[in-house]
Amino acid sequence: MSEAVFSPANGESAAVDPLPLTGERTVPGVAEENYWFRRHEIVYARLLERCAGRTVLEAGSGEGYGANMIAGVATRVIGLDYDVSAVEHVRAAYPRVEMIQGNLAELPFDDESVDVVVNFQVIEHLWDQAQFLRECSRVLRPGGELLISTPNRITFSPGRDTPLNPFHTRELNAAELSELLVGAGFRVEVMTGVHHGPALAELDVKWGGSLIDAQIQRALAGEPWPAELAADVAAVRIDDFELTAEDIDASLDLVAVAVKP
């Protein structure tokens, strides 16, 4: 059955089959996934102005909702993903995005051909993170920006050397992400993080100290969610999160802006 996929940037919908929810990526329009979707969406919303009037490559565009948001302000948006089904989905659901299938380890673009590379919640999935960042530097014009986000290893997989998420190869803390970016020739202009705002902090208390853990426990149990938990998760909005450089090691996700000299 086809479903309407909502386009956050312009309010339009396209009747296409939604991508399956596999745990590897988040998708819009799923009530139980809403917390994670909004937690990803805030980064697009807060960094959107850096894409205005520019040629933007989203490397690892996934479901495509973010690339479509960027298309509302950018001169040109190119999406790149290795997953053929994701590529086909974006082409059908978000026609403003120029979608290409390709490998992030060898970006299929000319040197110095884009102004901005966006890479949100992707680098933790890659085996050769340094090679990918060198490729980002290669395709960026001088002065171009890499906008990147990734789960903070300290809070996402606490006390572990290997990631909890089976789709992740290596998670990073702020110092490790900075080191990778500098090693690839970037200057780190901004290093900030996603935190729960007051409303989510209240929900943490309400659900035994962690709204995240409450969701994970119900998902692992394979049972229907309590109605109250489902309602609380479905009501989360991007403004319930905060983006701040303070207490970076306690952040949920790291968000960096890196500039090619």
pTM: 0.89
pLDDT of residue 3: 39
Neighbours of 98 (CB within 10 A): 15
Residues forming a β-bridge with 258: 146, 188
Task: Enumerate the H helices of the chain as residue ranges.
Answer: 34-47, 65-71, 84-93, 129-139, 153-156, 174-183, 198-206, 211-221, 227-234
pLDDT of residue 163: 54
Q: Which residues of the chain have pLDDT under 70?
A: 1-15, 19-25, 156-167
pLDDT of residue 161: 66
Cβ neighbours for 53, distance < 8 A, ≥ 6 positions apart? 73, 74, 75
pLDDT of residue 166: 65
- What structural domains does the chain harbor? 31-195+244-260 (3.40.50.150)
Token pair, residue 210, equals 């962690």
pLDDT of residue 11: 44
Q: Which residues of 127-161 are buried (b: 16+ CB within 10 A; e: fewer)?
A: eebeebbbbbbbbbeeebbbbbbbbbbbbbbeeee
pLDDT of residue 10: 46
Half-sphere exposure of 246 (CA within 13 A, CB side): 4
DSSP, residue by residue, 184-229: TT-EEEEEEEEEE-HHHHHHHHHTTT-HHHHHHHHHHHTSPPPHHH
- Write down the mean pLDDT value for the chain: 89
Helix or strand (DSSP H, E) at 100:
strand 98-101
